[in-house]
């Protein structure tokens, strides 16, 4: 594959992933990470590159939905997540990757379809604290934590835009953390930096495309799509183990 074809395919993937995330608030990131791996990038390159692209995507999304951010819940998420990449970098060397993926897939499937007595009934601060702990720790381990924390953020009484805005802001923080953590650990993207401008442009266009499409989704349909996509991502994750 020539560099030009590689960049063109990656740009399309960024647009599609960002449109998905702009529409339902999740799944675009893990879609993109899967594409990066399928395109042959080693994980030590794919995960930092994914973080850089997703920082742009989530920042664009938080700007697009900025008036809907739920700040009190977000503060809990950020404070809990802040020190945890240090733990995650240690886990990279001791966790069995296949076992970790299997556990994540099962948890995500259960959480997505849990009855109302489940995660949706957790107090808001507790839900965001758990989401922050999971995302802060596992972000540097598996790259895309959106499907893991999404069930904790699907709050009863929240509007679609509030879910998207608050999740995007939290994940922008996580991706910035990951970039710093990878830099401290010695991972660099010098050979890939030149590719970032078209990729960032693609995620910006994709975000606003998704936001435009959101107006055609009712709240009930939004939540159904949210759960179905979450489940599909979990199944796809576990299929990599077969």
Q: What pLDDT score was predicted for residue 37?
A: 75
5, 125, 232 from 219: Cα distances, Å: 39, 23, 20
One-letter-per-residue 3-state SS of 104-123:
HHHHHHHHHCCCCCCHHHCC
Residue with tokens 């939290």: 170
pLDDT in tens, 178-202: 888 877 777 666 667 778 889 989 9
Residues in the chain: 242
6, 85, 102, 161, 181 from 24: Cα distances, Å: 27, 27, 24, 9, 28
Question: Residues of the chain with pLDDT > 70: what percent?
Answer: 87
Cα separation, 192 vs 183, in Å, equals 14
- Which residues, 6+ apart, have CB-to-CB distance to 208 below 8 Å? 22, 60, 64
Give the model's confidence band at 235: pLDDT under 50 very low, under 70 low, under 90 confident, else very high: confident
pLDDT in tens, 28-85: 777 787 788 777 777 777 778 888 888 888 898 889 889 999 999 999 999 999 999 8
Q: Cα-Cα-Cα-Cα dihedral of 53, 101, 38, 229, to 10°?
A: -70
pTM of the predicted model as reported, rounded to 2 decimal places? 0.76
Q: What pLDDT score was predicted for residue 73?
A: 93
Rounded to 5°, the CA angle 120-75-229 comes to: 40
């Amino acid at each position: 594959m020539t560099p030009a074809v590689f960049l063109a395919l990656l740009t399309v993937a960024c647009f599609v992933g960002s449109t998905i995330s702009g529409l339902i608030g999740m799944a675009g990131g893990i879609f993109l990470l899967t594409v990066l791996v399928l395109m042959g990038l080693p994980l030590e390159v794919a995960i930092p590159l994914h973080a850089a692209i997703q920082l742009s995507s989530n920042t664009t999304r938080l700007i697009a939905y900025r008036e809907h951010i739920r700040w009190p819940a977000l503060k809990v998420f950020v404070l809990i997540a802040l020190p945890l990449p240090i733990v995650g970098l240690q886990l990279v060397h001791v966790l069995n990757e296949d076992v970790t993926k299997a556990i994540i897939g099962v948890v995500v499937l259960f959480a997505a379809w849990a009855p109302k007595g489940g995660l949706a009934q957790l107090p808001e601060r507790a839900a965001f604290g758990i989401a922050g702990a999971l995302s802060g720790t596992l972000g540097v381990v598996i790259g895309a934590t959106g499907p893991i924390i999404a069930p904790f953020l699907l709050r009863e009484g929240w509007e679609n835009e509030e879910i998207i805005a608050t999740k995007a802001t939290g994940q922008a923080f996580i991706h910035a953390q990951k970039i710093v953590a990878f830099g401290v650990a010695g991972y660099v993207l010098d050979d890939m930096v030149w590719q970032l401008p078209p990729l960032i442009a693609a995620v910006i266009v994709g975000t606003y495309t998704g936001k435009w499409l959101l107006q055609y989704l009712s709240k009930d349909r939004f939540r159904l799509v949210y759960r179905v996509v979450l489940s599909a991502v979990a199944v796809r994750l576990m299929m990599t183990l077969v």
